[in-house]
Amino acid sequence: MRKILNGVIYIILGVVGIAMVFPFIWMLLSAFKTPAEIQAMPPTFLPRKPTLENFRYVLSQGLFLRWYLNSLIVALAVTASVALFSSLSGYALAKFRFPGRKFIFIGILSTMMVPLQMLIIPWYIACVKLSLVDTFLGIAFPGLVSAFGVFLMRQFMLTLPDDLLDAARIDGASELRIFFTVVIPLVKPALATLAIFTFISNWDAFLWPLIITSSPRMRTLPVGLQFFADQFGVQYHYIMAASSLVVLPALLVFFALQRQIISGVTLSGLKE
Amino acid sequence: MILPKSSIGRKKMAWAYAFVAPVALFFLLVNILPMFWNFSLSLQHYNLLSQEKVFVGLANYRELIRDPVFIQSLINTLILAATVVPVSLVLSLAFALLLNEARRGVGLFRTIFFAPVITSIVAVGYIWSWLYQPHFGLFNQMLIGLGLPTSAFLKDPDVAIFAIAAVRIWKELGFQIVIFLAGLQTIPEQFSEAAKVDGAGPCQRFFYVTLPLLNPTVVFLAVIGLIRVLQTFALIYVMTEAGGPLNRTRTLVYGIEETAFRMYRMGYGASETIVLFLFILAVTLLQIKVLSRRIEY
């Protein structure tokens, strides 16, 4: 009885699992087909004459490498900034007593309630006035500090033993030194999780980069893909090749780091 | 609050302020002040192109409630939420239960379900647009192969929003499954065992033991799933043109982007964001009230 049940479970999971990955497989297969084959009726499954022409064309037309670089620059800068400032302020909020501590903490937390859309219009007007449209700073600034990051690091810092910090103080270490040589090594796991989550959500950001970039060279990868696909309307052999270029590297990184990524995103569920 | 007397204490406090100050200042400048600015913008006619900037009181809001396109976008957003949230919750709970029963291969299936979660939403939009393509798209080819009537999917006013909903469910499912799995693992096995001894069948055990204990997870996923779906933008922007057939896929955020950044009507756009915020707040509170149950033993 148990065996039959198990068999049924695996059959269901297998069918659904194939359905879940199928869109990716179909994207990849379509990317290797010729324009004639992609419109064949009935459709072919495996490409009859696999071609790299679509990829060659996409790489020659779009600025894909540049968009990759832009996305990487923005996501890395944002991740580094979030990691540094979240741990600095998280540390102060967890381990120091000072007037206004609670007020500041609650103030920071409450910003999580405000949806992004309520801020983009003022941000854009400010960027126009400060000439930040179409610059890296303009794309990156909304993410440089994260309320969720501050919250996460504070919760983690609370678990650090006070005795350890006081011992370092008695030894004559400065506060900055304590932070970098005692505190940071102890919170590395939380920091890694925060970094992975920050990188992923920034890598996928679309609305703000779309608004704040205007020249092709400054677009991030998702915005670049959108503009590229918009030009080629219904030529899905090109669009699927371009999508593959965007999707596959991310999937490979995911397979390599999946344990950390899944735990990071699970934790980040606390966001929003 | 007692102020420290010693110089060491004062020094420590100065460091604490130095650590917190950059972050606090950032939130003040980048999050809190713009929020108030946004509200004041919603009371103005502010056009970035014509440089018009006039205080008009509640005129934007009055225009909003009479704007049929805006009302349609509100309805579409609600339909999307009412489809995506319950369907994805039921499916993800079902798959999480199956995965919880499966002894081997959990890691593999978790990876498969999770892959769409980390995939770029723009790329996802194009992959599915291709599947939905009316003439050569795989879905219609399959329907033809099975001898069933075809559908225009994204071009059919009655179907388009549900076609979008399916994509969102596909993309979110893995995240919800992972959270449900984590929730299921916190339930002590004794409860289920005890119910078994008392003669409860699998269905009874699910409805009287597992589900009530999972309630916090359900509420959590329903609330964040709802907040996310109410902010749907990228899929609409990528998959349909100008808000879809008869504006049937236009969502609130799509409308905001169009008003503010293609028509440059900043004030009107700002008033739309305020409505979005109130909408999110109201629906979320209502949902928490309906779903949350206090469990006592």
- What is the least distance, in Å, from the CA of A38 to any CA of chain B? 8
Q: What's the whole-number mean pLDDT along residues A169-196?
A: 90
> What is the structure's pLDDT at B295?
57
Extract the tokens encoding B243. 């808000």
Domain containing A177 equals 62-268
pLDDT (tens digit, 9 = 90+) per residue, B267-290?
999 999 999 999 888 888 888 888
Main-chain phi, psi angles of B55, to 5 degrees: -75, 130
pTM, rounded to two decimals: 0.90
Q: Which residue of chain A is at minimal alpha-carbon distance from B92?
A: A16
Residue carrying the six token digits 């500090």: A145
Let me know if residue A27 belongs to a domain: no
Assign A270 a pLDDT band (cuts: 50, 70, 90).
Answer: very low
Sort out which chain B residues have CB atoms less than 8 A from A117's CB and list them. Answer: 231, 253, 256, 273, 276-277
Find out if CATH 1.10.3720.10 is the number for domain B61-291. Answer: yes
Do A258 and B269 lie within an 8 Å CB cutoff?
Answer: no
User: How far, in Å, CA of A219 to CA of A211, rounded?
Assistant: 10
- Residue B155 half-sphere exposure toward CB, CA atoms < 13 A: 11
Q: How confident is the model at residue A78 (pLDDT cuts 50, 70, 90)?
A: very high
- Inter-chain CB proximity B113 and A239 less than 8 Å: no
Q: Domain for residue A142, yes or no?
A: yes
Identify the CA nearest to B180 among candidates B208, B207, B220. Answer: B220
User: Do B104 and A12 meet the contact criterion of CB atoms below 8 Å apart?
Assistant: no
Among residues of chain B, what percentage have pLDDT more than 90?
53
Taking only residues 104 to 163 of chain A, the set having a beta carbon closer than 8 angstroms to any beta carbon of chain B reads 104, 107-108, 111, 114-126, 128, 141-142, 144-145, 147, 150
Cα–Cα distance for residue pair B237/A207, rounded to 1 Å: 10
Residue A7 lies in a domain: no
Asked if the Cβ–Cβ distance from B145 to A206 is below 8 Å, we say no
Surface-to-core class of residue B70, CB atoms within 10 Å of its CB (0-12 exposed, 13-18 middle, 19+ buried): buried
Contacts of residue B170, defined as CB under 8 A and 6 or more positions apart, other chains included, come to A20, A23, B116, B124, B128
Mean pLDDT, chain A, whole residue set: 89
pLDDT tens figures, A34-61: 888 888 878 888 888 888 989 999 888 8
Is the alpha carbon torsion for A130, A86, A111, B13 positive or negative? negative
The reply to whether A153 falls in a domain is yes
Q: From the CA of A119, how many Å to the nearest CA of chain B?
A: 6
Report, as ranges of residue numbers, the positions in chain B whose pLDDT lies below 70.
1-8, 293-297
Mutate to test the interface with B, among A4, A6, A33, A98 (most CBs of B within 10 A): A98
Give A140→chain B minimum CA distance, Å: 12
Test mutation, B15, B85, B227, chain A, max A CBs within 10 A: B15
User: Touching check for A204 and chain B: CB below 8 Å?
Assistant: yes
- Please judge whether B179 and A23 are an interchain contact, meaning their C-beta atoms are less than 8 angstroms apart: no
3-state secondary structure of A223: helix
- What residues of chain A lie within 8 A of the CB of B99, using their CB? 13
Closest CA to A85 of A132, A154, A139: A154
Mean pLDDT of A111-140: 94
Share of chain A above pLDDT 90, in %: 54
Three-class HEC string of B162-187: HHHHHHHHHHHHHHHHHHHHHHHHCC
Domains in chain B: boundaries: 7-59, 61-291
A181, part of any domain: yes
How many alpha carbons lie under 13 Å from residue A197 in its C-beta half-sphere? 23
Strands (E), chain A: none
Q: Say whether the peptide bond before residue A42 is cis (omega within 30 degrees of 0).
A: yes
Q: What is the ipTM of this complex?
A: 0.89
Structure tokens of B165? 């909903």
Q: How many domains does chain A have?
A: 1
Residues B89/B170, Cβ–Cβ less than 8 Å: no
Substitution target from A117, A119, A152, A245 for chain B, most B beta carbons within 10 A:
A117
pLDDT, tens only, A213-262: 999 999 999 999 999 888 877 788 999 999 999 899 888 888 888 887 88
Closest CA to A220 of A236, A208, A230, A237: A208
CATH number (domain holding residue A176): 1.10.3720.10
Tell me whether B277 touches chain A (CB under 8 Å).
Answer: yes
Q: Does B269 touch chain A (CB under 8 A)?
A: yes
Residue in chain B nearest A115 by alpha carbon: B277
Mean pLDDT throughout A138-165?
Answer: 92
A9 part of a folded domain: no
Domain contains A263: yes
Average pLDDT over residues A194-205: 88
DSSP state of A132: -
